[in-house]
Structure 1
Amino acid sequence: MGFENLDTIFYLILFFVGLFAGFIDSIVGGGGLITLPALIACGIPTHLSLATNKLQSVFGSFTAAMTYFRSTTMPYLTWGVLFTALGAALGSYGVLFVRDDKLKLIILICLTLTFLYTAFKPHLGKEDGEVKIKNIKVFYLIFGLILGFYDGFLGPGTGSFWIFVCVLFLGFNMKKASINTKIFNFSSNIIALFIFLWQYEVLWSVGLLMGLGQILGAFLGAKFVLKTNARFIKILFLFVVALTILKVAWDYFS
């Protein structure tokens, strides 16, 4: 089976996979948990799936970022974009030098702590809380580099991590955090995509078709966030983080 000539049913399935992933990712992140396994399940080799996954995810993150843009309240966004893009570039190169299994163990621990902390803090994220890092540029420097690097290197749960650090350190509620973090998701996605395009082959037909699904799903998801409350977003956040933990744990221990 040629990878540029998948059976029609696979194209149809992947379009709806992109749509659903775009919807979820625009709300709480974690869309890569849906799209990457789907690509691999269609018989596409892992490296091709990774590169194609970055291509299609850019459409969703861009759509969500633009839909939320007028509702964004974080100042000095350019600084956040710059540090996130730099982190993503380093992460995309770092995949050549850092052992994947070690990073996955670190991420598994961080995800588990994120889930437990959020689950056992019943009021966390439901309303605005205490600001722990008051200098927004310092926040961008720390988490732009760290989460940008992670997205460029591995990826699963990046949006969820962004939401969590905004809630924990900037005192945002879940809804506000979801709205304000998508532009950083797009920044790391687009930089990582350029690195992948330079180093790897991409299945353009699959990536662009899934990208159309991502656009529709991300638009619907972003509109949904603007109309819903922080409590529902927190429940969905915990659900997606739990699935991310299971996925990373399976990859690490299997």
Structure 2
Amino acid sequence: MIEPWVYAALTAVAVLTGFIDAIAGGGGLIMMPALLSAGVPPINALATNKLQSMFGTATAYSNYFRKGLVDWRANILTVVLVFIGASVGVIVVQSIDTRSLSLIIPLLLVGVAAYVLISPRMSDEDAHQRISGKAYAPVGAAIGAYDGFFGPGTGSFFTASLVGLRGLGLTRATALTKLFNLTSNIASVLFFAIGGKMFWLLGLCMAAGAMVGGWIGSHTAMRFGARLIRPLLVLLSLGLTTRLLWTYFSA
């Protein structure tokens, strides 16, 4: 049984993670350990984290959308494939050990951090796209499947790939990332709920905090743009790398 004070504490943590997710992604780096330390079983922690993240991401996305930074109609194919990929990932993760991914993903995150640091594309200026929106859809599906299956660093992978492959400016890439993250979160919540893994009351309390954080974070990102998003992407990628490696080798 979860103590009453835990609801308030985790709701406060959700404000911080919602803020981080709205700008650079990676709030799960903070939220998942917080849930586990509160005594929530791992699979239930993963499910409940997706619920609160869905509300925070929806709030951030709505702010980006109102500012005209997201054209969802032009990305409908990617949205559909991200949903399918995330659904498959959630179904698989409920029956497969994910420990091996804890060693592979840090290598990818280091690559993301390096790309963000050295790439001249990491600005708010749009660049020449290397692939079209339709060609990007399978990439989005793969990242969505990873999000449903494991999760850490998903926002960083979406943002870096949108900048590197589709040539989007960093703020626009961050905004579109929220659409794809929201899609994968909806799929994850749906299938975790079907599997009976959700702690609904806790998740909805945390969702309130995540919405506050998402609102503040998205407005902050739109105000400061790449000069804020770029260093946060690097810090979050390296932070996730450290956390995953520590978990892997200390287990």
TM-score, normalising length from structure 2? Answer: 0.92
Shift in Å at residue 55 of structure 1? 1.3
Q: What do the CA deviations read for 1:78-134 (whole angstroms, capped 9, x no partner)?
A: 21210100100111122256541233333222111111222233x33123323111x
Matches within 5 A, 1:218-233: 218-233=214-229
Given the alignment, which residue of 71, 81, 87 partners 2:85? 87
Structure 1 residue runs of 5 or longer lacking an equivalent are none
Match for residue 51 of structure 1? 47
Shift in Å at residue 64 of structure 1? 1.3
Shift in Å at residue 217 of structure 1? 0.7
Match for residue 98 of structure 2? 100
2:153 pairs with 1:139: no
Structure 2 residue runs of 5 or longer lacking an equivalent are none
Name the CA distance, whole Å, in 2 between partners of 1:232 and 1:82.
30
Given the alignment, which residue of 121, 124, 128 partners 1:124? 121
SS at structure 2 position matched to 1:130: coil
Given the alignment, which residue of 189, 195, 199 partners 1:193? 189
Do the aligned partners of 2:43 and 2:94 also contact (CA within 8 Å) in 1? no
The one-letter amino acid paired with 1:84 is V
Name the CA distance, whole Å, in 1 between partners of 2:32 and 2:98.
17
Closer/same/farther in 2, CA of residues 74 and 170 from structure 1, 3 Å limit: farther
Instruction: Compare 217-226 and 46-55 and name the one that shifted more.
Output: 46-55
Do the aligned partners of 2:221 and 2:228 also contact (CA within 8 Å) in 1? no
Matches within 5 A, 1:1-254: 2-3=1-2, 6-8=3-5, 10-70=6-66, 71=68, 72-73=70-71, 76-96=74-94, 98-121=96-119, 123-126=120-123, 127-133=125-131, 135-140=132-137, 142-254=138-250
Do the aligned partners of 1:35 and 1:53 also contact (CA within 8 Å) in 2? yes
SS at structure 2 position matched to 1:202: coil
Identical amino acids, percent of aligned pairs? 36
The one-letter amino acid paired with 1:37 is P
TM-score, normalising length from structure 1? Answer: 0.91
Name the CA distance, whole Å, in 1 between partners of 2:225 and 2:23.
11
Q: What do the CA deviations read for 1:152-202 (whole angstroms, capped 9, x no partner)?
A: 000111111111001111112221211121111000011011111111332
Give me the CA root mean square deviation: 1.6
Do the aligned partners of 1:28 and 1:178 also contact (CA within 8 Å) in 2? yes
Number of residue-to-residue matches in the alignment: 247
